Amino acid sequence: MVFQFVDLRSDTVTKPTESMRAAMAAAEVDDDVLVNDPTAFRLESEMARIMGKEAALFVPSGTMGNLISVLVHCETRGSEVILGDNSHIHIYENGGISTIGGVHPRTVRNNPDGTMDIGLIEAAIRDPRGELLYPTTKLICLENTQANCGGRCLSVDYTDKVGELAKKHGLNLHIDGARIFNAATALKVPVDRLVRAADSVSVCLSKGIGAPVGSVIVGSSDFISKARRLRKTLGGGMRQVGVLCAAALVAVQENISKLEEDHRNARALAEGLDQIKGLKVNVASVETNIIYVDFLKDSNSTAEKTSKKLKEQGILLMLESSNRIRLVLHHQVSASDVQYTISCFKSALTGAPEKNGF
Amino acid sequence: MIVKSPQSQWLLSWEKVTFEWEVSWKLKEQPSPNPPTSNPTLFNYKPEGGSDHCGIKLIIGFRVSLLLSFWAATGCAIGLLVGEVLAEMSSRIIDLRSDTVTKPTATMRAAMEAAEVDDDVLAHDPTALRLETEMAKIMGKEAAVFVSSGTMGNLISVLVHCETRGSEVILGDNSHIHLCESGGISTIGAVHPRTVRNNPDGTMDIGLIEAAIRDPQRELIYPTTRLICLENTHGNCGGRCQSIEYTDKVGDLAKKHGLKLHIDGARIFNAATALKVPVDRLVWAADSVSVCLSKGIGAPVGSVIVGSKDFISKARRLRKTLGGGMRQVGILCAAALVAVQENVPKLEEDHRNAKALAAGLNRIKGLKVYVESVETNIIFMDLLEESQLTARELSEKLGQKGILLIAGSSTRIRLVVHHQVTTPDIQYAISCFKGALAGALENGF
């Protein structure tokens, strides 16, 4: 039995490559709190340039990237932010914008494609005349790609429209761009054009781009200056952080071009799984590197049992519910890993004896 | 005879008849590509912590065989030695701004390169687990969690102990948490601070702490006191140590009133070293401790919070909420493990160096240092009127000589010693201060 290890739990599992490890060991560093670590400075300058914004700030995680962004845009007590009801900030960040930041969330329904209806967003903006009873809307957040909707991309056109709406009402626009490079790749647009309408973007480098740690917030100089201060307050001011930034620089230079292959692999995996009796994958909605797989009633097994069997075959995935699993592709999952995965699913679900996984 | 400095190292080893030396000038900071092997020889030796001090390296190497060239080369060596000392004087950097400036050593860099890692949010990064297990053991607590900074260590600790809305914490009016952490416990954590005066030795009077504890009978108008925070060593009081006896007394007081005790132990290893006590005994009375590894211990990044399993479990969750959940964080933890293993024993020398520096500066006309209060690695120095210099002016003059320090006010300067400041550096620093104050700068002599 040929045993392969295929980690599809998330693109956060990517391990640092040889070139990243070498860069980390050799990194030029300094105290990033007292002065500016030179490698952090290089990364931040590069990311600001790539994203078409004035400045950037390295942070330990996407959660901190979003938390800081929301809190800086909503620095006045009594603020409200509009965001998707299925967004990562709302569901998976411990409610930190409220519990830590004192900001009130106003959710708008996410469509299956990750967007929110522009009309519904506008309707959610608080009328300033009601300020005696209302918090003050300060910010709209988008998420691109939208993870819970299956890695769906928001187009340049849609993003610009939301940006115009924000401007019309004197609001700011933040994009949770954890996987913004995936979006730009899939849409075949320059990433700076994609986020042009946004006042700030939080970009993860530790996901598909493959750095071991970190995200970068980009925005105006003034915004980033406030962000840097809040980062310190939250405890994210690290000292010789150039060690991590060196790996992140390598990641940005080497791995963005690999995302297209991740998307091809995801589509191949989605198609292969959809053909298996008992499973359903909405192949048309697999735009980037995330796949949701549903277990149909007539399936031979449950999501949980299948996960366990696959784990024995070396395949790790995320159990979403009793009949849904999530798979995420990344550059450390190859095309042959994808074929292996499909065959393991087949044998797990058809109950056929395992013959070398094929 | 061994002559060492941050930028250049010579080994004139008289045990072997061969000798080797390496000369490096800091012309421009560049990354140094090769981590050293365990047996430094001419072609791969690097000064400790110097991998980013070495710019364009000029390596003059002679591997001299037994008899013939030995004496001829000795003459060259001595000539080069004198020349290098003179050249080096103007390019030497002695960073006394803080012990946070410590750069990762060669062994730390090698450890980072080779670190075994995994996603520390989805699972548990194995190197993070090793570090956290080791730190819990060293500190005598049940569990530990690695965090990105001491600020986060304290913020999480206060917020977990004070998880109920309407909480108050008692802490020193001169404490780091109160003065230098952006008021985060309130602005981020909604915890109310109640300060008690810090004595010059870093303690707070036990009676005053007790008086500050809110009477539950008046809860209609009072927040609820939940926590007392100590700081050991106390940074703003000059790196002063709090004894086991004092800490235990505060712990007893906390227990008597149903409160918790947190120690901001950013420099707790310095305290244990200076007091000559085991660190776990020193913090025994505490429910939690935040320990910095990026200060005198020399790791590039991070602190560790230690406490009970239950506490650490909540701390881990809050760490994620604050955005401190890092993925393949074993890279940083690998360096931190090396730091803990290698650098704790070096603290004693830092303290000796600090005392020597304090004594030397105090002898200079125009300066005042309270030498007897220099217990660890921090020195506060006052500029007297007769010096005719402000702290900023003095900082600038010394900066030109490569000595970096922080002016705390118009007349006060803080100096912090760490393992990347050597004994010769101390002597050089003293001579530069002398020169600056004498009003004549002649190559630091």
Within a domain: residue A223? yes
Token pair 């995935």 is at which residue?
A317
Chain A residue with Cα closest to B323: A64
Q: What is the pLDDT of residues B212-260, one digit of tens each?
A: 999 999 999 999 999 999 999 999 999 999 999 999 999 999 999 999 9
- What is the model's pLDDT at position A290? 98
- What is the model's pLDDT at position B368? 96
Q: What is the pLDDT of residues A329-344, one digit of tens each?
A: 999 999 999 999 999 9
Chain B residue with Cα closest to A69: B323
Within a domain: residue A21? no
Same-domain pairing of A118 and A64: yes
CATH value at residue A274:
3.90.1150.10
- What is the model's pLDDT at position B44? 37
| DSSP string across B326-386 | -SSTHHHHHHHHHHHHHHGGGHHHHHHHHHHHHHHHHTSTTEEE-GGG--SSEEEEEE-GG
List of E strands, B269-341: 288-292, 303-307
Same-domain pairing of A324 and A196: no
Query: If pLDDT is split at 50, 70 and 90, which confidence band does B92 have?
Result: confident
**CA B391 – CA A253 distance, rounded (Å):** 45
Quick check: B186 and B194 in contact, CB under 8 A?
no
Which one, of B240, B340, B329, B330, lies nearest residue B294 by Cα? B340
- Which residues, in sequence order, are bridge partners of residue A84? A108
Query: If pLDDT is split at 50, 70 and 90, which confidence band does B410 have?
Result: confident
Which residue would you say has higher pLDDT here, A277 or B65?
A: A277
Within a domain: residue A24? no
- For the cut 70, the answer to whether the pLDDT of residue B392 exceeds it is yes
Contact B33 A29 (CB under 8 A): no
Tell me if residue B303 falls in helix, strand or coil.
strand
The secondary structure of residue B157, as a DSSP letter, is H
Same-domain pairing of A55 and A176: yes
Query: If pLDDT is split at 50, 70 and 90, which confidence band does B409 have?
Result: confident
Same-domain pairing of A174 and A219: yes
Within a domain: residue A100? yes
- Residue B207 distance to chain A (closest CA, Å): 32
Contact B100 A67 (CB under 8 A): no
Residues in chain A within 8 Å Cβ distance of B156 = 235
Mean pLDDT of A52-72: 98
Same-domain pairing of A140 and A271: no
Q: Residue B148, Cβ neighbours under 10 Å: how many?
A: 33
CATH value at residue A213:
3.40.640.10
Lowest-confidence region among A249-258, B166-175, B194-203, B400-409: B400-409
Which residue would you say has higher pLDDT here, A298 or A114?
A: A114
**CA B175 – CA B85 distance, rounded (Å):** 42
- What is the model's pLDDT at position B27? 38
Nearest to B148 among A13, A100, A236 (CB): A236
- What is the model's pLDDT at position B6? 41
Q: What is the pTM of this model?
A: 0.84
Lowest-confidence region among A247-251, A297-301, B90-94, B107-111: B90-94
Within a domain: residue A357? no
Chain B residue with Cα closest to A20: B113
- What is the model's pLDDT at position B439? 77
Q: Which domain holds residue A308?
A: 6-13+258-350
- What is the model's pLDDT at position B408? 81
Contact A213 B98 (CB under 8 A): no
- What is the model's pLDDT at position B51? 40
| Distance from chain centroid for Cα B313 | 27
Mean pLDDT of A30-59: 97
Chain B residue with Cα closest to A71: B188
Nearest to A16 among B151, B324, B328 (CB): B328
Element (H, E) at B187: helix B184-187
Within a domain: residue A19? no
Mean pLDDT of A47-63: 98
Same-domain pairing of A247 and A267: no
- For the cut 90, the answer to whether the pLDDT of residue B77 exceeds it is no
Query: If pLDDT is split at 50, 70 and 90, which confidence band does B76 have?
Result: low
Same-domain pairing of A193 and A271: no
- Counting the structural domains of chain A, the total is 2
Indicate the residue among A254, A272, A301 that finishes a domain.
A254
Question: What is the overall mean pLDDT for chain A?
Answer: 95
Which residue would you say has higher pLDDT here, B176 or B46?
A: B176
Which 3-state string (H, E, C) describes chain A?
CCCCCEECCCHHHCCCCHHHHHHHHHCCCCCCCCCCCHHHHHHHHHHHHHHCCCEEEEECCHHHHHHHHHHHHCCCCCEEEEEECCCHHHHHCCCHHHHCCCCEEEEECCCCCCCCCHHHHHHHCCCHHHCCCCCEEEEEEEECCECCCCCECCCHHHHHHHHHHHHHCCCEEEEEECCHHHHHHHHCCCHHHHCCCCCEEEEECCCCCCCCCCEEEEECHHHHHHHHHHHHHHCCCCCCCHHHHHHHHHHHHHHHHHHHHHHHHHHHHHHHHHCCCCEECCHHHCCCCEEEEEECCCCCCCHHHHHHHHHHCCEECEEEECCEEEEECCCCCCHHHHHHHHHHHHHHHHCCCCCCCC
- What is the model's pLDDT at position B33? 40
- What is the model's pLDDT at position B29? 40
Task: Kindly give the pairing relationship between strand A136-143 and strand A79-84.
Answer: parallel
The secondary structure of residue B240, as a DSSP letter, is B
Alpha helices in B58-101 (DSSP H): 70-89
Indicate the residue among A204, A232, A254 that finishes a domain.
A254
Its sign, for the CA torsion B74, B78, B84, B85, is: positive
Question: What is the overall mean pLDDT for chain B?
Answer: 85
Quick check: B127 and B135 in contact, CB under 8 A?
no
Interface probe for B, chosen from A8, A34, A213, A228 (most Cβ of B below 10 Å), is: A213
- Residue B118 distance to chain A (closest CA, Å): 7
- For the cut 70, the answer to whether the pLDDT of residue A308 exceeds it is yes
- For the cut 90, the answer to whether the pLDDT of residue B3 exceeds it is no
Same-domain pairing of A191 and A310: no
Report residue A345 as tokens.
């699913």
Query: If pLDDT is split at 50, 70 and 90, which confidence band does B78 have?
Result: low
Give me the percent of chain B exceeding a pLDDT of 70: 78
Indicate the residue among A206, A237, A254 that finishes a domain.
A254
Same-domain pairing of A265 and A319: yes
Query: If pLDDT is split at 50, 70 and 90, which confidence band does B85 have?
Result: low
Residues in chain A within 8 Å Cβ distance of B121 = 12
Within a domain: residue A356? no
Nearest to B324 among A33, A60, A101 (CB): A60
- What is the model's pLDDT at position A352? 55
- For the cut 50, the answer to whether the pLDDT of residue B41 exceeds it is no
Same-domain pairing of A159 and A61: yes
- What is the model's pLDDT at position B58? 45
- What is the model's pLDDT at position B24? 39
Contact A25 B35 (CB under 8 A): yes
Contact A94 B109 (CB under 8 A): no
Query: If pLDDT is split at 50, 70 and 90, which confidence band does A197 have?
Result: very high
Token pair 């939940």 is at which residue?
B226
- Residue B75 distance to chain A (closest CA, Å): 36
Cis? peptide before A145, omega within 30° of 0: yes
Same-domain pairing of A63 and A176: yes
Which one, of A208, A183, A207, lies nearest residue A195 by Cα? A183
- What is the model's pLDDT at position B71? 64
- Residue B72 distance to chain A (closest CA, Å): 37
Within a domain: residue A355? no
Lowest-confidence region among A105-114, B21-30, B54-63, B256-265: B21-30
Same-domain pairing of A298 and A176: no
Residues in chain B within 8 Å Cβ distance of A239 = 100-101, 149, 294, 300-301
- For the cut 60, the answer to whether the pLDDT of residue B55 exceeds it is no
- What is the model's pLDDT at position B9? 40
Contact B119 A13 (CB under 8 A): yes
Lowest-confidence region among B69-73, B133-137, B237-241: B69-73
